[in-house]
Homo-oligomer: A and B are copies of this chain.
Amino acid sequence: MKIALAQLNYHIGNFESNTEKIIKAITDAKSQGADLVVFAELAICGYPPRDFLEFSEFTELCDNAVKKVAEACKGIACILGAPTRNPNIKGKDLFNSAYFIENSEVRTIVNKALLPTYDVFDEYRYFEPNRSFECIEFQGVKIALTICEDLWNINDNPLYISSPMDELIKEEPELMINIAASPFSYNHDDNRYKVLSDNSEKYQLPLMYVNQVGSQTEIIFDGGSFVFNEKGEMLDHLKFFQEDLKVYEFEAGTIRGLEPGDYKPMEDVEQIYKGLVLGIRDYFSKSGFSKAVLGLSGGIDSAVVCALAAEALGAENVMAVLMPSQYSTDHSVKDALDLAENLGCKHEIIAIKEAADAFDRMLEPVFKGLPFNVAEENIQARSRAVIVMAFSNKFGYILLNTSNKSECAVGYGTLYGDMAGAISVLGDVYKTQVYQLANYINRDREIIPVNSIVKPPSAELRPGQKDSDSLPDYDTLDALLYQYIELRKSSREIIEQGFDEEVVRKVLKMVNIAEFKRYQTPPILRVSPKAFGMGRRMPIVGKYLS
């Protein structure tokens, strides 16, 4: 039997385009002789549909779209992720399901048992967990069909009390199929590989895994659908960060014609680069926009964002606005201009002094000669936001935020100033990783001026200001932040690792008091296992511990 894996880029709630893509893939698979084509989890509506699922109109549209796909499914079978209604009066109203459709008829509906409800996941908010397990049967072959998390309960501290495969294996299936919507992070590929390998080895069955690809606001899917043999060895995988469709032959309990291969994961920096480019591109294309604006300072963060945006949208669709303050150095302007020229993107120069001076004069009767402090620094940063947002409002550009994760963490940024934007490109990329990205971007030629990379980071909002005046060096800062943000260690545990106690206390305090700022920042493209935003939900008014 020939089985096609269809790895597609869905758009949440866009039933027209999703259905069209799915039907086209069915046609493609059929033309390649496939008997069965497998689509991802919640393929029909995109993932995560979030509170759309609370609108009965939405689930009706899902039903209608499934009917359309079923009609197109003639002379072939398909497995298709979609929400379905729970017929039981007790429990949540919906299931997260996999339709098994053969010759236009729904043969079985399999429901997800393990509902991820942590980090960016909220599945128990919407779905009732499945409690009864049965294999599907196609052309005489018993298939253990599961949905994403159903396979992930395979570790030493399992998150769930049951394991669907432990039930399904009792029916002696010949093949496992898992449909997923498993978000990307730079370390996700390693975990995923291990989980899939462990499952196929434990149950001694070949495994076909189909993931989504594409970006949904902040959540990026990298694709990378996999095929494993019954010994836990990888046979093949689909493309990363792209749509793909491939047909495999399954016969007599085994996948034919493929030898176990070595899996060489991409370098983290390349994964992050590709993830961010996809994230920007899909944010714009799925929102119906094409042009971006950003403030270009001559520093490394905005330079990297500008290069990523040029790659994602085309340089001709990127407007870089240089907004020097009276404290900006000449070389900053030159570095920014060099970058714009290297990329070939549009640029404008608008000095902010006139607006900043106007505010200073207007506030003089109230401030009465009080010394220059963060108030005046922020007036400059906010004047810049007024300017780039005016570009957005006048010409339809979408503002890209250029703050990095280290800054977001310690609150080193101005709310309604440089923290503005429709989407944050680097908000999940630590400063040390931004340097890696810059070098990656420059791998073939100098796109980002070396000056932007080597000079000491500065906000240039007062004379001679440098990041290192108020922050430890970024190697130390990022290592410390990783312990607190990603690993959720206490100050005591972090200090025990050898970090300076005073620095730890100061930095953790900065992180905590910046919660109110982060609440109002744009959605952040997620590339790490713990990004700020929907996956990290901290109290704002609370007494912090560290």
Chain B, Cβ-Cβ closest to A371: B394
The smallest beta-carbon distance between A87 and chain B, in angstroms, is: 13
| CA–CA, A348 and B394, complex, Å | 32
Is B389's CB under 8 angstroms from A159's CB? no
- Other-chain contact of A354, B358, B385, B540 (Cβ < 8 Å): B358
Is A13's CB under 8 angstroms from B370's CB? no
Say whether A520 faces chain B, with CB atoms less than 8 Å apart.
yes
| CA–CA, A402 and B415, complex, Å | 17
Chain B, Cβ-Cβ closest to A534: B537
Is A545's CB under 8 angstroms from B379's CB? no
Say whether A157 faces chain B, with CB atoms less than 8 Å apart.
yes
A415 contacts across to B, CB distance below 8 A: 389, 420
A374 contacts across to B, CB distance below 8 A: 393
A55 contacts across to B, CB distance below 8 A: 488, 490, 545
Say whether A188 faces chain B, with CB atoms less than 8 Å apart.
no
The smallest beta-carbon distance between A314 and chain B, in angstroms, is: 19
| CA–CA, A394 and B370, complex, Å | 9
Say whether A258 faces chain B, with CB atoms less than 8 Å apart.
no
A522-546 at interface with B (beta carbon < 8 Å): 522-523, 534, 536-546
Q: A340-381, CB under 8 A of B: which get 1 and which 0?
A: 000000001011101101110111011100100111001100
| CA–CA, A394 and B367, complex, Å | 8
A9-34 at interface with B (beta carbon < 8 Å): 11-15, 17
| CA–CA, A493 and B57, complex, Å | 9
Say whether A96 faces chain B, with CB atoms less than 8 Å apart.
no
| CA–CA, A542 and B125, complex, Å | 19
Is A51's CB under 8 angstroms from B416's CB? no
Is A61's CB under 8 angstroms from B545's CB? yes
A534 contacts across to B, CB distance below 8 A: 537
Is A14's CB under 8 angstroms from B543's CB? yes
| CA–CA, A33 and B132, complex, Å | 53
Count residues of chain A with CB under 8 A from any CB of chain B: 100
Tell me whether A393 and B378 are in contact in the complex, defined as CB-CB below 8 angstroms, given that A125-B117, A422-B516, A490-B56 are known contacts: yes
Q: Most B CB atoms within 10 A — which of A355, A544, A545?
A: A355
A444-493 at interface with B (beta carbon < 8 Å): 488, 490-493
The smallest beta-carbon distance between A86 and chain B, in angstroms, is: 10
A422 contacts across to B, CB distance below 8 A: 516
| CA–CA, A93 and B160, complex, Å | 10
Say whether A1 faces chain B, with CB atoms less than 8 Å apart.
no
A394 contacts across to B, CB distance below 8 A: 363, 367, 370, 373, 375
Is B387's CB under 8 angstroms from A362's CB? yes
Tell me whether A488 and B54 are in contact in the complex, defined as CB-CB below 8 angstroms, given that A354-B361, A375-B394 are known contacts: yes
A110-132 at interface with B (beta carbon < 8 Å): 117-118, 122, 124-125, 128
The smallest beta-carbon distance between A249 and chain B, in angstroms, is: 37
Say whether A140 faces chain B, with CB atoms less than 8 Å apart.
no
The smallest beta-carbon distance between A353 and chain B, in angstroms, is: 9
Is A359's CB under 8 angstroms from B387's CB? yes
Chain B, Cβ-Cβ closest to A352: B362
| CA–CA, A361 and B358, complex, Å | 12
Is B385's CB under 8 angstroms from A416's CB? yes
Is A91's CB under 8 angstroms from B161's CB? yes
The smallest beta-carbon distance between A523 and chain B, in angstroms, is: 6
Is B51's CB under 8 angstroms from A537's CB? yes
Say whether A49 faces chain B, with CB atoms less than 8 Å apart.
yes
Is B416's CB under 8 angstroms from A390's CB? no
Tell me whether A159 and B92 are in contact in the complex, defined as CB-CB below 8 angstroms, given that A117-B124, A354-B361, A545-B58 are known contacts: yes
Is A12's CB under 8 angstroms from B379's CB? no
Say whether A332 faces chain B, with CB atoms less than 8 Å apart.
no
Tell me whether A50 and B160 are in contact in the complex, defined as CB-CB below 8 angstroms, given that A57-B546, A359-B355, A416-B420 are known contacts: no
Is B11's CB under 8 angstroms from A543's CB? yes
Of A203-211, A231-239, A279-287, the stretch lying at the interface with chain B is A279-287
Say whether A183 faces chain B, with CB atoms less than 8 Å apart.
no
Say whether A298 faces chain B, with CB atoms less than 8 Å apart.
no
| CA–CA, A543 and B18, complex, Å | 11
A128-153 at interface with B (beta carbon < 8 Å): 128
Chain B, Cβ-Cβ closest to A367: B394
A351 contacts across to B, CB distance below 8 A: 362
A362 contacts across to B, CB distance below 8 A: 350-352, 354-355, 387
- Other-chain contact of A51, B217, B359, B538 (Cβ < 8 Å): B538
A157 contacts across to B, CB distance below 8 A: 89, 93
A420 contacts across to B, CB distance below 8 A: 415-416
3 nearest A-B residue pairs (beta carbon): A57-B490, A375-B393, A14-B543
14 residue pairs bridging A and B, Cβ less than 8 Å apart: A50-B538, A51-B537, A56-B490, A90-B160, A92-B159, A117-B125, A217-B540, A348-B366, A354-B361, A355-B358, A359-B386, A362-B387, A382-B386, A520-B520
